[in-house]
């Protein structure tokens, strides 16, 4: 798709951990629309579906910073979205040029991204997966990223809990509490009293081998 493509709408999207600020402009519309999007898979999927229905599946352009790779891969799976990942340094320079006062009426990052997209998009390279396989790969990559993030989060929480009530376990299993050995250890001995009750398993006593008497 060429940069000169006419889009059904232009969006500036400022990604954050808890929420996303969105600024949307429909061609011919004097004032952009603003909304806050919760950072949950359900909220994002519902919002994209609303965009698809509202604009009949026609191309919608979205500008966001390249550093937001996780959210970028989430949006890649939707075939009608045309993504413009903008360099963070370029966005920062644009912000300094138009938002130097730190006043309440300074444009938000979402508004700046929308302005860049509306006025200078021919200077930026769009990123739009053009095959089903590419979008499927992006979806799988995002699912893996979320799984790794969840594992890391749970491991950190478990490590913090063990440091509080069971530091002896960390001394024995190490810091990698998500390893199969660590999980097996914690399943068998989930606290210090259980570990103290453990006893070495005796080896099976060997029995002497007997030989049959020779027939007389």
57 against 70, higher pLDDT = 57
Report domain extents, the chain. Answer: 9-130, 138-193
Token pair of 63 as six digits: 């500008």
Closest CA relative to residue 189, chosen from 215, 216, 160, 162: 162
pTM (whole model) above 0.75:
no
What class has domain 9-130?
A: alpha beta
Q: For the chain, how many residues are written?
A: 216
Q: Which of 64-78, 142-156, 164-178, 183-197 has the lowest mean pLDDT?
A: 64-78
Residue 1 has pLDDT above 50, yes or no: no
Cα 106 to Cα 111: distance, rounded to the nearest angstrom? 10
Dump pLDDT digits (tens) for 134-152: 767 777 777 887 888 889 9
Of these ranges, 3-12, 50-59, 84-93, 167-176, the one predicted with the greatest mean pLDDT is 50-59
């Amino acid at each position: 798709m060429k940069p000169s493509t006419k889009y059904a709408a232009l969006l500036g999207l400022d990604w954050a951990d808890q929420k996303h600020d969105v600024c949307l402009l429909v061609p011919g519309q004097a004032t952009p629309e603003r909304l806050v999007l919760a950072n949950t898979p359900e909220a994002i999927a519902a919002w994209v579906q609303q965009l698809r229905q509202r604009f009949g599946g026609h191309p919608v352009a979205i500008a966001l910073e390249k550093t937001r790779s996780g959210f970028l891969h989430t949006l890649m799976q939707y075939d009608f979205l045309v993504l413009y990942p903008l360099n963070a340094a370029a966005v920062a320079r644009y912000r300094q040029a138009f938002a130097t006062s730190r006043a309440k009426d300074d444009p938000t990052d979402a508004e700046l991204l929308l302005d860049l997209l509306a006025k200078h998009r021919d200077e930026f390279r769009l990123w739009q997966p053009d095959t089903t396989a590419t979008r499927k790969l992006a979806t799988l990559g995002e699912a893996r990223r979320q799984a790794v993030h969840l594992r890391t989060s749970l491991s950190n929480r478990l490590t913090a809990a063990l440091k509080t009530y069971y530091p002896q376990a960390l001394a024995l299993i190490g810091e990698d509490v998500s390893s199969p050995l660590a999980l097996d250890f914690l399943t068998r001995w989930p606290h210090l009293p259980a570990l103290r009750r453990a006893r070495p398993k005796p080896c099976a006593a060997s029995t002497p081998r007997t030989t049959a008497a020779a027939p007389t």
